[in-house]
Amino acid sequence: MRNPLIPGFHPDPSVCRVGGAYYIATSTFEYLPGIPIYRSTDLVDVELVGHVAVRDGQLGAKGVPTGGGTWAPTIRHHDGRFWLVVPDMLGTGRGNVLFTAEDPAGPWSDGVVMDVVGIDPDIAWDTDGTCYVTMSGLGIDEEDGSMVHRGITQVRFDPETGAALSEPRSLWSGTGGMFPEAPHLYRVGEWWYLMIAEGGTERGHAATVARGRSPEGPFEGSPYNPLVTARGTDNAVQNAGHGDLVQHADGSWSMVLLGTRPRSQTRAFAPMGRETFQTPVTWDAEGWPHAEPVVLDERHAPVERTFAFPAQGPATLDGFPGEVVAVRAFPREVADLEARPGFARIRGAGVGMEDAHPAFLGVRQVTEGATVTVDLDVTDGVGGVSMRYDEGSHLDVEVSGETASMTMTARGLVQTWVHRRTDAGGRVRVRIVADPPEQGRATLGASCDRLTGWVHDGGRWVELGGVDGAFLSSDFTESFTGRVVGPYAREGVVDVAAIEYTGQDVQR
């Protein structure tokens, strides 16, 4: 079984099968384009086919704070259409939004704002056509403005108008773990099953399940809960939870779910954040599901990708590779592909990666060992390559005239290394390398990886400096996203010829 199924920053997966194809949606938070859609025919090879949010107004990501934006989608196929419900929260977010499409590759609708209060909505239909939205009842207290959690709630719902047709009712909210969330409702035989996540999205994360005769309950928890968790184990995949069930054409079942690959002596730091995994599910004679522990596969083929401009391919958007994202902006708003053919021209505004709206294009780190090289022309500007978690945590390799520097920013701590270039030309190659410790060796004191910054100067690669990769992990930054790395411009014009990615997971 392929694991991770979708590597790199791809949390909160939801899946549906239509015929012989599986479609998977994941969260994007403050990045655009929003909500990638992946297609697979075997849950081994997975292809990005498009995004839900590719136009202005579909999401409010441009003004959301870090940690806000778009998360926890649910994708379903019903009555000949694809349906996707998702929270678009905080700041300029629209609230809970329902999108539809005839083709999951797009185009998707502009979205209907849902008159429901909560997060992580699920959408399901009874056999009589009644539509239900089940959600995690997180909201704001009207009296004092404090955050309150009402457990798992549900309303009857009009998917054409977005209106709730009933008052929220409380459903089963788990086994007592914190933050009951990510509900999904399924009909299997004569039973309705309610699967949720609880325990927080950290080391205590878990998926639990209950069932009832009606989609409205009452629900009885499984005596075998949790359905899946990694807490208290030495599993290579931790934080397992927030899953979605899918039945295969042969009648077997599996679950897609999020997890992390933490490293270090205490497995404390996950450099790529929450990724998409899968695990088999079986059903016992009593009608209860059972999930296997999540395990990594044994295949560790190297990854080599070159992202050139303009791009061609099924998921290309406005000439940009589908894997390329920007922060609170679409790539087309950050870079011009027409100003200099064969390049992406980024214009700096006098600010760098510390800004909420950096002039930055990035791709996800998808392997434990990774080298990301950017070919730039900085004749008329200042810029470089950055590995970003958020505006407070990033590693930047920057070129300005005769100077190349590496700066590590970690929640208010800033350190810079400087190198004077012998090659004074504007065309320059810079890179960031993530080097994890060797598996099977004593790792006392070792972190998840070591990050180094490099500049090609004088006919050779020159190391600018190195830092502990733990500073750019989801655990240190307390981020819901993951490492995203690519070129940026601070001042003037920076022309990007290509982003080159090479990497490989550590052999286990």
Supply the residues annotated as catalytic.
12, 181
The helix (H) or strand (E) run that includes residue 494 is strand 484-504
Positive or negative, the CA dihedral 333, 334, 335, 339 is positive
Beta bridge partners of 266: none
Smallest Cα–Cα separation from 127: which of 162, 84, 80, 78?
78
Helices (H), 42-187: none
> Which tokens is 156 given?
């009857």
Q: What is the DSSP letter of 6?
A: B
Buried residues in 291-308 as b, exposed as e (16+ CB within 10 A): beebebeeeeeeeeeebb
> For residues 111 and 142, is the Cβ–Cβ distance under 8 A?
no
Beta bridge partners of 464: none
Single-letter amino acid code for the residue at 497: A
Smallest Cα–Cα separation from 173: which of 98, 233, 96, 225?
225
The 3-state DSSP class for residue 136 equals: strand
Rounded distance, CA 82 to CA 100, Å?
5
Positive or negative, the CA dihedral 31, 274, 316, 40 is negative
Q: What are phi and psi of 298, to 5 degrees?
A: -100, 5
Residue 383's contacts (CB-CB under 8 Å, 6 or more residues apart) are: 346, 348, 359, 376, 398, 399, 487, 488, 489, 490, 491, 494
Q: What burial class does residue 353 get, using C-beta atoms within 10 Å of its C-beta: 0-12 exposed, 13-18 middle, 19+ buried?
A: buried
Rounded distance, CA 452 to CA 464, Å?
7
Rounded distance, CA 9 to CA 99, Å?
22
Single-letter amino acid code for the residue at 98: L
